[in-house]
Amino acid sequence: MNVTLPDGSRLDLPEGATGHDAAAAIGPGLAKAAVAVRVGDEIRDLARALDDDDAIQIITPKSGDDYLYVMRHSAAHVMAEAVQTVVPGAKFGFGPPIDDGFYYDFDLPRPLTEDDFPAIEAEIARIVAAKAPFQRTVMSMADARAYFAERDDPYKVDQVDELERQGETEVSLYRQRDFVDLCRGPHVQDSGRIGPVKLQSVAGAYWRGSEKNPQLTRLYATAFTSAKDLEAHMARLEQARANDHRRLGRDLDLFHFDDMGPGFPFFLPKGMAVVNGIKAAVRDELTGMDYDEIQTPTMLNVDLWKTSGHWENYRENMYFSEVEEQQFAIKPMNCPGACLVYRSRRHSYRDLPIRYAEFGHVHRHELSGVLHGLFRVRAFTQDDAHVFCRLDQVKDEVNAVLDLTDRFYAKFGFDEVSLKLSTRPEKATGTPEMWDAAEEALRDALGDREYGLKVGDGAFYGPKIDFQVTDVMGRSWQLGTCQLDFYLPERFDLAYTTADDTEERPVMIHRAITGSIERFLGILIENTGGDFPLWLAPVQARVLPVSDRHHGYAEAVRARLRAEGLRVEVDARSESIGRRIRDGELSKTPYLLIVGDKEAEAGTASARARHKGDQGAMGLDDLAARLAAEATPPGS
């Protein structure tokens, strides 16, 4: 049989040859380094047989993310075995690799704490040193169910039952030493191929993510190719902890969470200054792109959500209320409201494209266990837009969104942007023909741009392009999205009049740049460490009078700068000037303006710029002009 290598060449192999056989046929060095094989879009164990005409790629420690995925998956199993040794009686949930690491869920007879980490890490080291082979076994559903029932492992029995309901007829199990788990794989050949492992944290997690199920203990860890890579990662984590937006949000008086509204952020005055700066940056872009801003109601009759498909596909994430014996829902998304706005008027083909923008405040129910600062909340504001256009206009409109996101992210210091195309999910509405047409239209719009593929990750009503940025710590964040939708125009009976006086359905494009203002702010805080550029800083300058008699002049300086639209405050506390300078630096204020007798007499202020130090005495007009120029957003 023949397989195809990444360079397009063909490799002749005997029938039944494995990934390891393919690596050996290429060369003994590759066979020694190989840990797995990619076959098309699937990564497999080296021991599995290949088929004729397979397109393959041998995975080695130099293969980047593919290697880390396989190695960390194997490390998760080793960690589970170690926990089983340290805490006898443990039962096992899921244990997948994730971004930057892996986790495993356990049902334990006693609480697990960080005090257990040294013993677990020592046991992991022993398993790795033993070079225990990973052995794959395939069982029928009945045999697998009986096997795990005999081992008194109810979570694995439940997994087998769920897979059988999905139509599976057999499952694979993996064993290393005495540990066995239900698993699709892939894994490295033996535990000795696992790099250095570091346990990180313990959290709670419901079985299958439902609060109706038992709460398990989730143990997070990571593994890297080398100790050097692990140390670099731990240094990045330390920086991430220092930049944690929850701590900085509190310390810088940006936002607050209260027990009266778990998951519902309260923005303080300084936080609102940053939020309004983000919104202004969005509006600045949209003004030049002929968007019209709208606002739609927060609560609408459930019949709307039945029409839109949210009732069927999303109601477990929605909040409801009853008004005059009618059931209403608080909106989790803005798109149905935009459809009603479009439908409220007749439209001609000459009107299209119509671009509606909205800062829509939406509510979605999230389990309390997954709430996380501004990153995972129950109420947030989307910088949403919905474009209604003809099919022949889709490519230009999507390309305009792609260009918009490039400009917008660069404005905030995110220069590295990657694109992901997400295709039809399992829980999808509309016909296959609608989906095929929508996916093809997005591929056509992407053209020669580089993009990754996220199979089955589209919205329930249409495929999408997601935008990911990389922060200063090398972390990737998904921000904006551009979604193509043939479904909602059909459900809402949207139409426009053509040149020959017939009616056609418009295509609907859903677009958000930040994703949500709240999450974008959280990412921005962590990316900058709360050290915002002058144009975005909540307080752009702080005036520090040397003594009580200089308060009046300090207020005059503040008034002069505020006349230029700058955000300025006076720190007239009785603390020493040195203490107030230090506090100003800790608050990350871009400019500290010190005024005493000399400055009051000369009509100046002694300026200290953050990161640049003493700027000397400056006349108020010159100072106001300088700060006003620096406070202009990039690209404005």
Which residue in 551, 552, 544, 549 sits closest to 578, CA to CA?
544
Which residue in 388, 405, 412, 396 sits closest to 480, CA to CA?
405
Side-chain-facing half-sphere of 210: CA atoms under 13 Å: 4
Residue whose token pair is 């400055």: 599
Active site residue 364: yes
Active site residue 406: no
Active site residue 610: no
Q: Assign residue 40 a region: left if phi > 0, alpha if psi is -120 to 50, beta otherwise?
A: left
- Note whether 605 and 594 are within 8 A (CB): yes
The secondary structure element, H or E, covering residue 482 is: strand 476-485
- SS3 of residue 60 by DSSP: coil
Q: Of the residues 331, 386, 558, 588, which is catalytic?
A: 386
Active site residue 482: no
Residues constituting the chain:
636
Q: Of the residues 464, 519, 558, 608, which is catalytic?
A: 464
- Note whether 335 and 488 are within 8 A (CB): yes
CB atoms within 10 A of CB 412: 23
The secondary structure element, H or E, covering residue 319 is: strand 319-323
Using the 8-state DSSP alphabet, how is residue 546 labeled? S
Give the span between the Cα atoms of 329 and 336, in whole angstroms.
12
Q: What's the N-to-C CA distance of the chain in angstroms? A: 61
Contacts of 158 (CB under 8 A, 6+ apart): 207
Q: Of the residues 145, 510, 511, 580, which is catalytic?
A: 510
Active site residue 483: no
Active site residue 361: no
Which residue in 505, 517, 516, 514 sits closest to 339, CA to CA?
505
Give the span between the Cα atoms of 590 and 569, in whole angstroms.
12
Give the span between the Cα atoms of 474 and 100, in whole angstroms.
11
Helices (H) and strands (E) in the chain, counts: 20, 33
Orientation angle between helical segments 269-287 and 394-411, nearest 10 degrees: 140
- Note whether 94 and 183 are within 8 A (CB): no
Active site residue 327: no
Q: Of the residues 57, 382, 483, 540, which is catalytic?
A: 382
Contacts of 603 (CB under 8 A, 6+ apart): 619, 620
Give the span between the Cα atoms of 533 and 430, in whole angstroms.
45
Contacts of 315 (CB under 8 A, 6+ apart): 305, 329
Residue whose token pair is 């039952």: 161
Active site residues: 335, 364, 382, 384, 386, 464, 510
